[in-house]
Structure 1
Amino acid sequence: MKNMLKLNLAVTKQLLVIVLIALFTSCNNDDNDTEQTNNDDSDYDTSTYILVVDQTGQGADIIDHDGDILFSWDFDDAIGNDASLLSDGSMIVCLKANDAAITFGGYGGKFQKINADQTTDWEVSYSTTTQTAHHDVEYLSNGNIIFPVWEELTASDAAEQGFSGSQDIYPEAIVEMNPLTQEIVWEWHATDHLIQDYDSTKLNYGSVEENPNKIDINYNSSQDNGDIMHANGITVDEDNDIIYVTINNYSEVWVIDHSTTTAEAATSSGGNYNLGGDLIYRFGNPLTYDNIGDVTLNDVHYPNLLDTGNMLVFSNNIYDNQSAVFEYELNPPYQLVSGTNNEPELVWSFTDSELYSAGLGGAVRTPNGNTLIAEGRDGTVWEVSNNGEVLWKYAGYDTLWRVYAIPVTDESLTYLGVD
């Protein structure tokens, strides 16, 4: 696996300092066998309820800090993975399609909008023998949905693109759809933006180092199942018309210009950045494009863009089976310059010796500035203060996708009948 040994060594070297700092400023809870742990001297955010997206129970709950369920959804099909609450009490949810042909972890293929009264407003599918929607969905202000897609590339076609392996692969695409008409209104494909330095007789040959806006198809070429990229989270900044995607198997966040037309998105020109669908920015692991700068991510989930313009990211395995949450200061408009440290400033982090999720996970901010963390594989919800103090933990679930902070005054709660 190209560069993966370098990644592990770089993560150990560069992040050990970060981990030690975060451990110094964080507060480890004493061992506690109860499901709920409160620090009575701490100020966890009682003005916030928690929306828990439950992987094991195949539903979603709104809970309070006592762990009481205030509202619950029970989906007709298995969740696959995200569910988000809208202001009118409706929910957009990813579900597993019964006929999905691509079934890596996090596959979906079907979306529903569920009204506050639990009736289904609409349902659409995106699942064929060669393409499957997966993991996440964003509901845009124009009523469209946007989501990541695996698309199959046969071994022979992959070889023509300069892929060094011999297996079928499943690069990422992004699709924007009008769910009422099921019209595809915009799309982007990673296969239009590749670079490789493996075979000069094949497509996409060139210098990875000199093309930071391109995606090295061989960075993770030894991935046996062909899921070489594995996007698992998408966030759209509608103000700046850009898309953030967490790419787990590259351990980085990709940033894509959404102002392009579909035709421009297949090229390297057009859009606000005049880069077409090439990456306008990327961060977390500069080894993916043979660049300098600190490696700060090792496996990654949920690119959570905050109101401040900063971003929270959940890093699954930063050091010795330990997860962390990082906050980056982002400063669009972006630039990627070969041979230059392009990494954003890391302005806050949290880790704990008991915080570890090999997959899943995410973090959000509460109104008072605390951070809610979904320890996905362990099923534990954490709330921590800005200075790293563990304020509250709740271990009432087996496996979590994400948690979201819902202010107790949120309009959606009125439609759901939650006091």
Structure 2
Amino acid sequence: MPHVPQPGVSIHKKSKTFKGFTVFAPTRSKFAYLINMNGEEVHRWEINEGAINHALLLENGNLFIGERGPEESPIPMARGGRIREYDWDGNVVWDHVDNTHHHDARRLANGNTAYIAWHAIPKKIQKRIKGGLPGTAAPDGRIYGDVIREVNPAGDVVWEWRCWEHMKVENYPITAQYPREEFGHANTLVPLANGDYLIGFRVINTVAIVDRKTKKIKWEMRDDSWGGQHDPHILPNKNLMLFANGQLTSAAHPFSRVLEINTRTKKTVWEYRDPQVMNFWSGFISGAERLPNGNTFICEGAYGRFFEVTPEGETVWEYNNPYVGPSPLYGHEQNWVFRAHRYAASSPQIKRRVKQ
């Protein structure tokens, strides 16, 4: 961090920011929050089971969020298990339970919901998986792989994709220092306009686009320097943006970056990093998004820090999450935020719902 963080808004250069409202749910929190540019809470939702990933606002203004389910997960560290939609008044209007769900979920244009889940990889295929720490399979001795599951509003599975059926697992070695309990560790799922899916796999440093019709991978990029990336997504200009965490790389000191990459040339065309490398580093969770004014909104998740930078890298807004809770990994209190999102005041998610 660049300084001892001041809770709430610590930087606000009004003339250079993109005005809007930010939604986020601290890890393991019982609440999701909507704040204005001054860091003031303008709305909150009570989360029945505790948030485990990012909160999104749907166009109808409802909150869409992943929670801890009632049953244990195959991989306890990244336990999810439940996806819910809450209306503005906090009533649950949709609820789906699947103890294998983890990390990301998205509402589709047709009303269906897609999410990431786990499934044990067949033992014959497990033997072909390379890399990772020896002797670190899941407690049941299996290696789990990522599944993309799409369900209709009634909760029925209408489409499914299993990574090991469409990836030659031996060509995607797990980063050496990671456990072998899972292959892939997908942490991001983005539905594209044509129906395809973009998926980010952390422990194999891979971003891939899956053709929904054929289920084949039609585009992919791998780069170990990303260090277990999060939040890859396609920008309106067709470039790829992602948060390169910088975890377990060959760098002398760990540091994070936000990258914009040309998907055709696979070259970086824009990058944000702090000149003092240790001032910006989140080894896990986190994300970034391009704002309509050209600025970039960044969530440095491990420190609960959200900030907005100009194309030149100037920080024009900064907020430090003051809400703390128990760490899912270490037992002490933390203010982690998996991801945060900024919505324009005129957006359908916000318009006529919040006093301007």
TM class by smaller structure: 0.7 to 0.9
Tell me how far apart the structure 1 counterparts of residues 238 and 30 of structure 2 sit (CA, whole Å). Answer: 32
Instruction: Write the deviation string for residues 33-91 of structure 1: whole angstroms up to 9, x where unpaired.
Output: 5333226486122x222122321534321112221111112200021213210121112
Shift of 1:32: 5.5
Shift of 1:136: 0.7
Instruction: Give the letter for the 1:224 counterpart.
Output: P
Q: How does 1:358-373 map to 2 (within 5 A)?
A: 358-373=283-298
Q: Is 1:283 equivalent to 2:283 in the alignment?
A: no
Tell me how far apart the structure 2 counterparts of residues 103 and 78 of structure 1 sit (CA, whole Å). Answer: 18
Tell me how far apart the structure 2 counterparts of residues 399 and 373 of structure 1 sit (CA, whole Å). Answer: 14
Unaligned segments of structure 1, at least 5 residues = 1-27, 198-207, 209-215, 261-275, 286-294, 332-342
Tell me how far apart the structure 1 counterparts of residues 234 and 30 of structure 2 sit (CA, whole Å). Answer: 26
- Tell me, what secondary structure is at the counterpart of 2:338? strand
Q: Is 1:86 equivalent to 2:58 in the alignment?
A: yes
Residue number in structure 2 paired with 1:153: 121
- Tell me, what secondary structure is at the counterpart of 2:289? strand
Tell me how far apart the structure 1 counterparts of residues 191 and 235 of structure 2 sit (CA, whole Å). Answer: 11
Shift of 1:381: 0.7
Tell me how far apart the structure 2 counterparts of residues 191 and 103 of structure 1 sit (CA, whole Å). Answer: 18
Tell me how far apart the structure 2 counterparts of residues 255 and 176 of structure 1 sit (CA, whole Å). Answer: 16
Q: How does 1:9-408 map to 2 (within 5 A)?
A: 31=3, 33-35=5-7, 36-38=9-11, 40=13, 43-45=16-18, 47-127=19-99, 132-153=100-121, 156-159=123-126, 162-163=128-129, 167=137, 168-178=142-152, 180-195=153-168, 208=171, 216=172, 218-220=173-175, 223-224=178-179, 226-238=181-193, 240-258=194-212, 260=213, 276-285=214-223, 296-317=225-246, 319=251, 320-331=253-264, 344-352=266-274, 353=277, 354-397=279-322, 398-408=335-345
Residue number in structure 2 paired with 1:289: none
Give the structure with the higher percent helix: 1
Instruction: Give the letter for the 2:113 counterpart.
Output: I
Tell me how far apart the structure 1 counterparts of residues 38 and 178 of structure 2 sit (CA, whole Å). Answer: 43
Tell me how far apart the structure 2 counterparts of residues 348 and 183 of structure 1 sit (CA, whole Å). Answer: 41
Instruction: Give the letter for the 1:376 counterpart.
Output: G
Instruction: Give the letter for the 2:266 counterpart.
Output: P
- Tell me, what secondary structure is at the counterpart of 1:356? coil
- Tell me, what secondary structure is at the counterpart of 1:136? strand
Contact 2:345 2:351 (8 Å CA) reproduced: no
Q: Say what the alpha-carbon RMSD is for the aligned residues.
A: 2.4
Tell me how far apart the structure 2 counterparts of residues 118 and 51 of structure 1 sit (CA, whole Å). Answer: 15
Instruction: Give the letter for the 1:279 counterpart.
Output: I
- Tell me, what secondary structure is at the counterpart of 1:80? coil
Contact 1:89 1:415 (8 Å CA) reproduced: no
Tell me how far apart the structure 2 counterparts of residues 416 and 231 of structure 1 sit (CA, whole Å). Answer: 34
Tell me how far apart the structure 2 counterparts of residues 33 and 113 of structure 1 sit (CA, whole Å). Answer: 32
Instruction: Write the deviation string for residues 385-408 of structure 1: whole angstroms up to 9, x where unpaired.
Output: 011111121113411111111101
Q: Is 1:411 equivalent to 2:336 in the alignment?
A: no
Residue number in structure 1 paired with 2:329: none
TM-score, normalised by the number of residues in structure 2? 0.84
Tell me how far apart the structure 1 counterparts of residues 167 and 344 of structure 2 sit (CA, whole Å). Answer: 43
- Structure ID, larger Rg: 1
Tell me how far apart the structure 2 counterparts of residues 41 and 153 of structure 1 sit (CA, whole Å). Answer: 51
Residue number in structure 1 paired with 2:332: none
Contact 1:284 1:296 (8 Å CA) reproduced: no
Contact 2:34 2:43 (8 Å CA) reproduced: yes
Give the structure with the higher percent strand: 2
Shift of 1:225: 5.0
Instruction: Give the letter for the 1:375 counterpart.
Output: E
Shift of 1:147: 0.9
Tell me how far apart the structure 2 counterparts of residues 169 and 412 of structure 1 sit (CA, whole Å). Answer: 40
Q: How many residues align?
A: 328
Tell me how far apart the structure 2 counterparts of residues 41 and 77 of structure 1 sit (CA, whole Å). Answer: 37
Q: Residues 247, 386 of structure 1: CA spacing in aligned structure 2 closer, same or farther, 3 A cutoff?
A: same
Tell me how far apart the structure 1 counterparts of residues 176 and 10 of structure 2 sit (CA, whole Å). Answer: 43
Residue number in structure 1 paired with 2:326: none
Instruction: Write the deviation string for residues 217-264 of structure 1: whole angstroms up to 9, x where unpaired.
Output: x445874351231110111112x3321111110112121111x1xxxx
